[in-house]
Amino acid sequence: MKEFDLIGRYFSEGGHQRKDVVVGIGDDCAITTIAENQQLAVTTDTLVGGVHFLMDAPAKSVAYKAVAVNLSDLAAMGAEPSWISLSLSLPEVDEVWLQEFVSGLYELTQYYSVQLIGGDTVRGPLSMTITAQGFVPPGAALQRAHAKPGDWLYVTGTLGDAGAGLDILQDKLEASGEERDYLIKRHLYPTPRVAAGTALRRTANACIDVSDGLLADLSHILRASGCGACVHVDRLPISRALYQVVDAKAAYNYALTAGDDYELIFTVSEEQRGNLETSLTSTNVKATCIGQITGHNGQLDLKLHNTPYKKPEKNGYEHTF
């Protein structure tokens, strides 16, 4: 199968151009070069309309999110993004929708100096698969399996905003004014923590991004590392907007279980803790210590003001399988 004219018409012009792309869109393959002494990071994520985004979501937001979730996976490995390939399935050709989609896509790729190097378009239900690639120096990738008992547990930014934004859009939660706009924006236009991810390469041991919810994603680190964790619910970073819209307990719930925030959860050894602030200074990203890794394999303890806190019943976004 070759790329349809669609790709040619809407995607081949414009967009960030990189010097390491020898052949871009329009041949059987893209051809790229890799700098010496770099390893390649590769990730693939699919978004399905009605599952991963609302069917009536703005096209710009859909493109933005499709790129962001992939760059977020690169960030979680400490990789610097370089290229993406896009496979787009559309029920029909809606030119206005496509133009907005392309503008959302290029806005993000331009900002992160990423080039669209190829793809495919097919007729089908609204969905898209992006494969994103990036570079990381040998041995520097932040792996899930590298958390160690005693490591301090951190998270970037604030948690729960995107989940609250989704609930607002679905009329499950009431909000107005600035708070409403802020929370919806956090859902529609997530920020991949690319600069923080690369900055953490030398400081963090393990890292993952929050796509399914803090508890769900942290449990991936714990399982891969054979560790446990203690999380202090009262230390969770929660935005002023979320606190304006719900009470503290509901805010904790969003922060623990809602997905799509695309913040980074990472662990830092006691020795590296002093370097953390320096590492993140240039990125303008705030990180908050929310607990510690323990030796209790697979056990995740929650505490509120140092007393046990009951885990919410819903562990994270219930995905399809």
Give me the least distance between CB of 31 and a copy of itself, in Å please. 5
Give the separation between CA 54 and CA 4, rounded to whole angstroms: 26
Shortest approach of a copy of itself to residue 305 CB, angstroms? 32
**Cα dihedral 107, 113, 117, 118 sign:** negative
| Token reading at 207 | 């890292």
Residue among 154, 144, 34, 125 nearest 83 (CA) = 34
CB of 253 vs a copy of itself, minimal distance in Å: 21
* C-alpha closest to that of 216 among 172, 178, 157, 265: 265
- Judged by DSSP in three states, 237 sits in coil
Of 43 and 109, nearer to a copy of itself (C-beta) is 43
Handedness of CA 107, 112, 118, 124 (dihedral sign): negative
Instruction: Using the minimum distance from each CB to a copy of itself, give the nearer residue, 157 or 192.
Output: 192
C-beta of 66: minimal distance to a copy of itself in Å?
10
Q: How far is the CB of 311 from a copy of itself (least distance, A)?
A: 20
Contact 207, 264 (CB under 8 A): yes
By beta-carbon proximity to a copy of itself, the closer residue of 70 and 158 is 70
Instruction: Give the β-pairing of 127-136 and 115-123.
Output: unpaired
| Residue nearer to a copy of itself on the CB measure, 118 or 291 | 118
Choice between 2 and 240, CB closer to a copy of itself: 2
Give the nearer residue to a copy of itself in terms of CB position, either 45 or 179: 45
From the number of C-beta atoms within 10 Å of its C-beta (0-12, 13-18, 19+), residue 235 rates as middle
Tokens of 45: 């994520």
Residue 278 beta carbon to a copy of itself: minimum distance, rounded to whole angstroms: 24
CB of 289 vs a copy of itself, minimal distance in Å: 22
Q: Is 137 exposed, middle or buried (0-12, 13-18, 19+ CB in 10 A)?
A: middle
Is there a contact between 63 and 102 (Cβ–Cβ < 8 Å)?
yes
Q: Shortest Cβ distance from residue 72 to a copy of itself (Å)?
A: 8
Nearest to 72 by CA among 174, 192, 248, 182: 192
Question: Residue 74 or residue 229: which is nearer to a copy of itself going by CB?
Answer: 74
CA distance 50 to 125: 10
Which is closer to a copy of itself, CB of 307 or CB of 320? 320
How far is residue 82's CA from residue 42's CA, in Å, rounded to a whole number?
Answer: 10
Count Cα atoms within 13 angstroms, Cβ side, for 67. 29
